[in-house]
Each structure stands twice: as C-alpha cells, then as structure tokens.
Chain A
Amino acid sequence: MNETPTTSGFSRRRFFSASGVAAGLVVLAACGDDDDDGDEEGQAGGGSQQDQGQNRDLAVAELAAGLEVLAVNTYQAALDAATSNKLGRVPPAVATYVQTALAHHKEHLAAWNGILRSAGRAEVSTPNAQLKPTVDSMFAQVKDVAGAANLALTLEDIASQTYLKAIPTLTSKDAIRKAGEIQVVDQQHIAILRYALGMYPVPEVFQKTDKAVS
C-alpha cells in the first residue's frame, strides 16, 4: 500500500474543479438543505433558506477568490524580485517552492472563479481589499529570501485559517470538499515554509482560526 495517486484522481479533480463543483453549488444548495422543512425532493428556486445557503456559499467563493488573487500576486512579485536579484541568492528549494505555490494558488483561483462564473456571478480578479494594503506594506520591506518566506507564511496562514473557518458554514457538499482540499494543501505549504525558516513544521495540536478573514 502506498499513497501514489490513481490515474483517475487528477482528471476527476480537474473535472470537479470547474463545472462539477459549480453545478454542485447550484444543485446542492437548492436540494441539500438542512432545514428539514418538508421539501423532500429539493426544488430549484425553492425557499429563502435555500437561497440564503447558496448565497452564503457564493460569498465564501468570492472571499476565497480574493485571497487567492492576493496570494498569486504576492508570489508572482516575489518570483519577479528573485529573478531580478533583489532578494540575494535564492536557494533551489525556495525557488521551487515559490513556483509550485504560485501554480497552486492560480489553480485555486481558477476553481473558485469557475464556481462563480457557473452560478452567474462575476469572476474575482482583484485582491482582498481588507488585506492588500497590509500585504503591500509588508512586501515593500522584503529584502531577502527570509523576508519573502515570512510574508508567504503570513498569507498561507490567513488563507488556510479562512478556509477552516468557512467550511462549517458552507451548505454545498462540493464546496465543502473543494475548500477542504485547498485547506490541506495550504497547511502543507505552511509546514514546509516553517521548516525552511528554521521552525518546527507542525506547531499546533489543533489548527486555529484567529487569523481568518471574513
């Protein structure tokens, strides 16, 4: 037994990452309600609680997309700075990390925007307005690899904790799954960043939510 992914895993993931989850948000938000009000078969365009659940899920998708834009922009800026020798010598493992994390966050963003688009909402292309000024200020002070890694750690903490806090509020099972899949990967980014920064990689017994945004 090993943890080698099955060949079907990737294609299934890609399938769900766009239309599947988006359709799930619409369908399951309509028929997967928890209010038990007697509407057994779940009719599209149903009661207000169903609409509220769907709207809540889509609000989380918008929030998540805004965080992903912020992460993409910040990692891209760090990569640009490294390429232009503004961060000093960049260790190979750090270079690989930045490229990998950047690609991951682009995929996360695409997934949430796919959900929003399929639900008739506008895609998100601007970073989270609440955090952007702070992140811009922090990035302006980044002079080396350690500074960039610390900023990345801050962003990953915020993103991962936001997903953790959002998951219990989501009504669509597919949205819960997608948020969980991303939370896992963001937590893994954090573990490796902490190791690179000289810290123990798994500091908490239970993941916290004190840095989550809403």
Chain B
Amino acid sequence: MQIDDRQLSELIEESQDLHVDAMKGIAETIPMLEGIREERRREEVDVDEVAQFNARRRRALQAMGLTGAGLAARSVVYGSLGSLFTGLIASPASADKNLDIQILQTASSLERLAVNTYNAAATQNIGGIASVRGTAGTVIKQFVETTMMQHDEHRKGFQAQTTALGGRSQDQPNRKFQDVVNKAVPTLKAPVDVVNFAGTLEKVATDTYLVNLAMFEDTKSKEIMASVMGVEAQHLASLRAVSALLTAGAPELIKIPIGADLADLPAAAGSVGFPAAFEQVMEPDLIAQPDTGDVR
C-alpha cells in the first residue's frame, strides 16, 4: 500500500488554509491590544497596578499554601519546585517585570527552539531521521516539515501578542531547554531516539502552556496559548504513536492514509498517545519557567 501523496498534500493545504483563518482571528485582536500597549507605554510606574498585582499574587499564594508555613511544607513535598517558578511568583512584582509578557516571551523561545531543532534534525539527518525509507520516511518527512511550519506560526503569534502588550519580541531559543538539546543531540543515534526527543520537546511546550494558563492576567493571551497548547498536544500524541510503531519494528504501519492496514495496528496503538485521563505535568524538569525565555 502506498502513501497517497496527493491526499496528504491536500490535507496540508487545508491545514494552511485553517492557519490563515486562525491568524486572521489573532490579527483582529492586535489593534485592541495595541491600544492597551499605547496606554501602558506612557506609564513609567503604575503604583496602583503593581499593588493590585501583588495583592492578587498574595491571595493566590495563600490559596496554594505558598506563604509562611505553607510554603515551607510545600517545599518539603515538591523539593526544587520551590526554586525558579515559586521564586518568581513569590517575588513582588516590579514595574519592569510583567508576568504576562515574560510568559509570552518564554513561549516564543520554546517555539524558536522547536523550529531550530526540527530543522536541524532534518537538515543534519540527526539520528538518521532523514534516512528512514518507505512510507514511514515519507510520513516522517511530511510531519517534520508541517510541524516545523506550525511551530513557526506559533512563534509569530506569541511574538505579535508580546509586542501588542508592550513587550519586546523574543526570537532566541529557550535558555533552559537549549542546554537540554545541546546535551541530547550527540546521544540521538537512531530515528526512534529523535522521535522520542521531539516528543519530549512537545511535552515541554504542552505542559508549560498548561501551567501558564492559570498565571495569565490577559484574556487574549490565554486564548492564544490554549489554542496552541491543543496543537502541541496532538504533535505529542502523534510522536508517541510513531515511536511505538518504530519500537515495535512495524515502520510499514506508519502511513497516511492507514487504510486496510488499520487492522494490523497493534492494540497498544489505541492508547499509547494518551497515557492518562488528565495531562500529567512533570514539574519542574519539563516546564519552561517564565524566566527561562524572557528578554534580557
């Protein structure tokens, strides 16, 4: 059975059309946000705003048990969680540190890192990922190209939102996970290693955005991040399925459309993409805290 390249191309084209529609939606919000930016640009230090932020932060910390004895007890339970992330939200806001902007800059940095890493994997044939033959090779190539394009659009979306809120656009890769990539790349010896590592980066993005949703003040930023999160989650599920098929020695079942070979998929293919009923966030290792990708 052969890959239906025409149908796949049509699907990609359809995806790109959907993307154009989605970007229009974001573009429509930019003028409103630019208005907010203009209002904020002239504000050197809004003491009231900082005080209100700190009041909200204090209430949130109380609710999370992150003050006084609660903070001490939670540190015992979560160990290093009490370092970067907790340190950030436990610190009073200053006029030059807007958490929403930090979060958006860090999201941009994750997307930049994803684009760079997918591109390097493909162009440098890391782990032999570009040498996979047959239908699996075709699907993997299309997946890498499409996913790289999607991440690049996510980057643009987050950057536009950052500037709309008055922040500086981030175009550098995430500092924390660039280091992880640098250390991991020499260890990626086979295509399945690359697929698994790409899955790790997708999980970092998915879970970072999930954690961020509860920290945003700005509603439009929350909408955009939740929308992107849903797409990263699908990248992750797809990579888990591809990894399982490569590991099972069944690369011939990596094909679109799968067609009658659906009957030959191992039973585990029906569950490997989603290991739990609720997304399980693994803090702090697989989270890009807001200060790991902000503009400095």
Contacts and interface: CB of A to CB of B under 8 A. Distances in A.
User: Interface residue tally of chain A, by bracket?
Assistant: 35 or more
B262 interface: yes
Interface string B268-291: 111101111111111001100000
Contacts of B257: 197-199
A198 B147 contact: no
A203 interface: yes
A202 B236 CA distance: 10
A202 B241 contact: no
B184 A1 contact: yes
A157 to B, nearest CB: 11
A104 interface: yes
Given A164-B230, A180-B226, A208-B22, A5 B276 contact: yes
Interface residues of B, number: 84
A119 to B, nearest CB: 16
B266 interface: yes
A13 B280 CA distance: 7
A204 to B, nearest CB: 5
A94 to B, nearest CB: 6
Given A92-B266, A191-B273, A178 B227 contact: no
Contacts of A197: 257
B235 interface: yes
Contacts, number: 242
Contacts of A91: 262-265
Grouping DSSP codes into helix (H, G, I), strand (E, B) and loop, the A interface class, with mixed when no group exceeds half, is helix
Interface string B154-182: 10010000000000000000000000100
A200 B275 contact: no
Contact of B259 (A108, A167, A184, A198): A198
A28 B263 CA distance: 48
Given A40-B58, A187-B230, A191-B238, 20 more contacts: A1-B286, A31-B63, A32-B60, A34-B217, A36-B56, A92-B266, A103-B277, A180-B279, A182-B279, A184-B206, A185-B233, A188-B273, A190-B234, A192-B269, A195-B238, A199-B256, A200-B8, A206-B22, A206-B224, A207-B230
